């Protein structure tokens, strides 16, 4: 076990981590940046199997970003000071949910790490997953759980329910509003990593990729016009977007397929964001556009209103995209207020509304069957998935993303 602990401490020194506590079968450590915590975790998990140990060990990791304070201890305690804060408890809960060889993160730690950690780890690309909300024992609101890992090392599958945590299939938009607002308050500077080790069967192997609910996951990241470094994620607390904002779209599929991502706006020709030339070299499971590895962003410059991302996934490369785009040009959807967005299946999307900010008493109904009405049943049957993410933006302009009419 000494070699196990020595390896972890070596990783800490390489990635600017500070050991706070050694629990006997694990560690608590602190980092200034979530990306450093994740680098440390990935390095440790890759190098642990290389140790010559009589028992195979696997590490489970929880990473959370939150505020902590120091408290003086009595003279008998060698640590001198103690860390105090809800972030410590949340880190332990996230770590306890993880399976062997799994790295789980909460939302702000995940977003920050992914923004800054874009290189591969020893030629292995990092896989980023969303496992959806979990309700932890002793907490009032569900917590969104994410995973970062490596193929062949990490499980890359949703953690199973336990006595202390249960996955939430769905919850109301008001709950999401409250969760997002709370995280904004506590996410300050400190990322904490909790470690635990346990034996694993010799034939343990990673299972297949899994996305909560078996549906594609679409995430819109954006930088406001005056921001150069930091970005936000589209949510009920970060709408509307402003004209001139720069966006990236990240998509993950539950299984391999041929995705086509369109940017749609009223009175404008549909713009194919991915693949750029309309052709695939083969089926894929995830992509980002523009290419996040080169820190590319696309500028939104339409008139103010409601725009939509439309993701279509097929089992084989689509034929005659120009005909499809002509039909998509007639797609109609309701205008959203600045405090609403819409997401989900294109024929039955869900309306999300920030009830704490919206002053418009007029109800807006999510449209039903809009894609079938526009493209026809034959086309619709060719799509394994048809997902939308519609959002409002403000400040009119004469130009538009992807070109003019």
Tell me the pLDDT tens digit for each residue of 354-378: 766 655 556 667 777 778 777 877 7
Domain assignment present for residue 209? The answer is no
Task: List the end-to-end C-alpha distance of the chain, in Å, as a whole number.
Answer: 66
Given this model, what pLDDT does residue 209 score? 24
Banded pLDDT at 399 (limits 50, 70, 90)? very low
Domain assignment present for residue 317? The answer is yes
Are 135 and 269 in a shared domain? no
Q: How many domains does the structure of the chain reveal?
A: 2
pLDDT > 80? residue 173: no
| Average pLDDT along the chain | 76
Are 312 and 233 in a shared domain? yes
Are 14 and 158 in a shared domain? yes
Are 77 and 16 in a shared domain? yes
Are 45 and 127 in a shared domain? yes
Residue pair 359/243 in contact by the 8 Å Cβ criterion: no
Looking at 167, 199, 231, which one is the last position of a domain? 199
Domain assignment present for residue 272? The answer is yes
Q: What's the CATH code of the domain at 186?
A: 3.30.70.1230
Looking at 173, 199, 225, which one is the last position of a domain? 199
In the chain, the percentage of residues whose pLDDT exceeds 90 is 13
Domain assignment present for residue 399? The answer is no
Please give the residue range of the domain that contains residue 335: 215-394
Element (H, E) at 181: helix 173-186
pLDDT > 70? residue 144: yes
Given this model, what pLDDT does residue 394 score? 85
Banded pLDDT at 160 (limits 50, 70, 90)? confident
Domain assignment present for residue 262? The answer is yes
pLDDT > 90? residue 62: yes
* pLDDT tens-place string over residues 9-50: 999 889 888 888 877 778 888 888 888 899 999 988 888 888
Element (H, E) at 190: strand 190-199
Are 25 and 59 in a shared domain? yes
Are 225 and 166 in a shared domain? no
Domain assignment present for residue 312? The answer is yes
Are 7 and 147 in a shared domain? yes
pLDDT > 70? residue 79: no
Are 241 and 194 in a shared domain? no
Q: Which long-range contacts (CB under 8 A, 24 or more apart) does 3-8 make?
A: 3/51, 3/52, 3/53, 4/48, 4/51, 4/53, 4/57, 4/197, 7/44, 7/47, 7/48, 7/51, 8/44, 8/195
Give me 22's structure tokens: 């050694």
Among the ranges 12-21, 195-204, 389-398, which has the highest mean pLDDT value?
12-21
Residue pair 324/318 in contact by the 8 Å Cβ criterion: yes
Given this model, what pLDDT does residue 103 score? 94
Looking at 175, 199, 223, which one is the last position of a domain? 199
Are 227 and 182 in a shared domain? no
Domain assignment present for residue 136? The answer is yes
Element (H, E) at 195: strand 190-199
Strands (E), 244-322: 246-265, 271-274, 284-289, 298-299, 305-314
pLDDT > 80? residue 380: no
Instruction: Tell me how far apart the alpha carbons of residues 147 and 210 are, in angstroms, rounded to a whole number.
Output: 11
Are 295 and 390 in a shared domain? yes
Instruction: Tell me how far apart the alpha carbons of residues 399 and 405 are, in angstroms, rounded to a whole number.
Output: 10
* pLDDT tens-place string over residues 100-122: 889 999 988 888 888 777 655 66
Given this model, what pLDDT does residue 186 score? 27
Are 153 and 35 in a shared domain? yes
* pLDDT tens-place string over residues 205-261: 222 222 233 578 888 888 888 877 777 888 777 788 888 888 999 888 878 899 999
Domain assignment present for residue 404? The answer is no
């Amino acid at each position: 076990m000494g070699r196990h602990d020595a390896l972890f401490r070596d990783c800490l020194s390489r990635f600017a981590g500070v050991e706070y506590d050694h629990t006997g079968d694990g560690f608590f450590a602190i980092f200034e940046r979530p990306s450093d915590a994740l680098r440390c975790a990935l390095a440790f998990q890759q190098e642990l199997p290389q140790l010559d140990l009589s028992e195979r060990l696997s590490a489970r990791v929880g990473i959370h970003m939150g505020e902590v304070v120091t408290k003086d201890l009595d003279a008998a305690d060698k640590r001198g000071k103690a860390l105090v804060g809800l972030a410590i408890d949340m880190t332990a809960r996230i770590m306890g949910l993880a399976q062997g060889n799994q790295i789980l993160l909460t939302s702000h730690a995940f977003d920050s790490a992914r923004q800054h950690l874009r290189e591969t780890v020893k030629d292995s690309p990092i896989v980023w997953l969303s496992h959806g909300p979990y309700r932890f024992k002793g907490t009032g609101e569900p917590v969104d759980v994410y995973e970062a890992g490596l193929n062949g090392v990490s499980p890359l599958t949703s953690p199973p329910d336990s006595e202390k945590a249960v996955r939430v299939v769905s919850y109301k938009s008001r709950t999401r509003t409250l969760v997002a607002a709370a995280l904004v308050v506590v996410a300050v500077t400190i990322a904490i990593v909790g470690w635990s080790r346990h034996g694993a069967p010799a034939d343990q192997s990673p299972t297949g990729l899994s996305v909560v609910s078996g549906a594609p996951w679409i995430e819109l990241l954006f930088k406001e016009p005056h921001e150069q470094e930091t970005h936000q994620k589209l949510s009920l607390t970060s709408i509307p977007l402003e004209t001139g904002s720069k966006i990236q779209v990240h998509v993950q599929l539950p299984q391999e397929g041929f995705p086509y991502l369109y940017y749609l706006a009223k009175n404008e020709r549909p713009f194919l964001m991915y693949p750029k030339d309309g052709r695939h070299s083969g089926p894929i499971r995830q992509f980002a556009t523009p290419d996040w590895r080169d820190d590319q962003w696309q500028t939104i410059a339409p008139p103010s209103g409601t725009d939509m991302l439309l993701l279509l996934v097929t089992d084989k490369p689509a034929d005659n995209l120009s005909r499809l785009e002509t039909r998509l040009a007639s797609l109609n959807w309701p205008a959203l207020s600045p405090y609403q967005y819409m997401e989900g299946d294109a024929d039955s999307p869900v309306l999300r509304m920030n009830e704490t900010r919206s002053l418009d008493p007029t109800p807006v109904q999510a449209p039903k069957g809009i894609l079938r009405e526009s493209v026809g049943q034959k086309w619709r049957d060719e799509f394994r998935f048809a997902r939308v993410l519609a959002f409002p933006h403000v400040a009119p302009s004469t130009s538009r993303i992807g070109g003019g009419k």
